[in-house]
Copies of this chain bind each other. A is one copy, B any other.
């Protein structure tokens, strides 16, 4: 496998990672889900160089995860919004968060709580099979690979 050919691999893990397989990319997406839309806000939150941030945003735009929208004319200013394809990444982010809260606890306590808009209670995310309603673990699934 070659790094820059991951996007056309038959393996879905490789294809997924061709879009989000980078730390800063996922942290940019986190900010998008938190409602941060502007370059300068992201940059000051993430503390990465403008160059790196611009590169990740451009790639996410190219792959259809974010769209750039003009919100001011003079000077021209843009904000970044999640597309439907981007919003569909939410379960990946939430699964990662759930895993990290359980397995990589924060020394100073977590900075994030996810609560249900409906009940106000903290959510307890689990992956289930829509067909059966059963929880999915690696024990319940057989992977069938085509070489």
A92-114 contacts to B, CB under 8 A, are 92-114
Question: Is the pair B95, A2 in contact by a Cβ cutoff of 8 Å?
Answer: no
Counting contact residues on chain A (CB < 8 A from B), the size range is 35 or more
* A77 at the binding interface (Cβ < 8 Å): no
User: Cα distance A101–B146 when bound, in Å?
Assistant: 15
Taken together as a complex, chains A and B put the C-alpha atoms of A118 and B136 apart, in Å, by: 11
Assembled-state Cα–Cα distance A78/B116 (Å): 45
Complex contacts, A92 vs chain B, CB 8 Å: 92, 95-96, 99
The answer to whether residues A19 and B112 also contact, given A14-B27, A34-B145, A92-B95 and a CB cut-off of 8 A, is no
Whether B98 pairs with A91 at a CB distance below 8 angstroms is yes
Q: Given A1-B46, A12-B112, A111-B145, are A129 and B125 also a contact pair (CB < 8 Å)?
A: yes
- For the complex, is A73 an interface residue (Cβ under 8 Å from B)? no
Q: Which of B17, B20, B94, B96 contacts A27 (CB 8 A)?
A: B17
